[in-house]
């Protein structure tokens, strides 16, 4: 039986489709609109359960010039992460399957050391601490606010880009105070 995420017909780019593209095609925007900033060429991987949340995130990413690829499972996201070395993954707390803790731990153990942002309609200090303990970076609240998504993704990208220390401790400490 196919999962809810696999059964969705979605207008969004799926990780599997993206990985099947020819090597000559570019994951970035057309050359006429490229901003020289690396952040403007950011590729995110999304493990998001609800179609409405996907639409909102896709709009925010498009507005900021980011590519957002949606994965249907943790395994698919992990394969894309290993191949693309995407610096940021947005992971829904309410995904069917193994649960968010196992998903975050699996993705955080990737050699690319991507920053995992848990997406949840409930966010408190306890959840943030659990996310950090399992190797995640931060918690992003639903419904999405564009300014919070942009701030959180930029902070995660900045941290990943610096390649600093242990990802589970002391990352985005200022974000914990905003919960």
> Which CATH code, of 3.10.310.30, 3.30.70.120, 3.40.50.300, 3.40.50.2300, is assigned to 12-19+39-176?
3.40.50.2300
pLDDT score of 95: 87
State yes or no: cis peptide before 87, omega within 30 of 0: no
For 3-17, the pLDDT digits (tens) are 444 433 344 566 656
Pick from 142, 138, 7: nearest CA to 72: 7
pLDDT score of 16: 57
pLDDT band at residue 114, thresholds of 50, 70 and 90? Answer: very high
pLDDT tops 90 at residue 119: yes
Pick from 56, 30, 45, 39: nearest CA to 151: 39
pLDDT score of 25: 44
pLDDT band at residue 70, thresholds of 50, 70 and 90? Answer: very high
For 160-178, the pLDDT digits (tens) are 988 744 443 334 443 443 3
pLDDT tops 90 at residue 50: yes
pLDDT score of 9: 39
Q: Give pTM, 2 decimals.
A: 0.73
Is 53 or 23 the better-scoring residue by pLDDT? Answer: 53
For 20-46, the pLDDT digits (tens) are 553 444 443 333 333 445 566 799 999
Share of the chain above pLDDT 70, in %: 69
pLDDT score of 2: 42
Q: What share of the chain is helix, strand, coil (3-state, %, to 5)?
A: 45, 15, 40
Mean pLDDT across 115-132: 95
Tell me whether residue 25 is exposed, middle or buried, using C-beta atoms within 10 angstroms of its C-beta: 0 to 12, 13 to 18, 19 or more: exposed
């Amino acid at each position: 039986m196919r999962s809810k995420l696999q059964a969705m017909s979605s207008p969004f780019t799926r990780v599997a489709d993206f990985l099947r593209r020819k090597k000559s095609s570019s994951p970035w925007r057309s050359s006429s609109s490229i901003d020289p900033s690396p952040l403007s060429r950011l590729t995110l991987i999304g493990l998001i359960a609800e179609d409405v949340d996907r639409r909102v995130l896709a709009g925010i990413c498009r507005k900021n010039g980011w590519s957002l690829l949606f994965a249907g499972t943790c395994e698919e996201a992990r394969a894309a992460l290993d191949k693309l070395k995407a610096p940021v993954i947005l992971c829904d707390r309410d995904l069917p399957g193994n649960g968010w803790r196992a998903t975050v731990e699996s993705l955080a153990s990737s050699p690319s050391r991507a920053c995992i942002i848990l997406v949840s309609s409930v966010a408190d200090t306890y959840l943030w601490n659990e996310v950090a303990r399992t190797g995640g970076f931060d918690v992003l609240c639903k419904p999405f606010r564009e300014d919070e998504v942009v701030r959180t993704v930029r902070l995660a990208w900045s941290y990943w880009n610096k390649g600093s220390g242990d990802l589970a401790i002391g990352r985005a400490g200022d974000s914990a105070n905003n919960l």
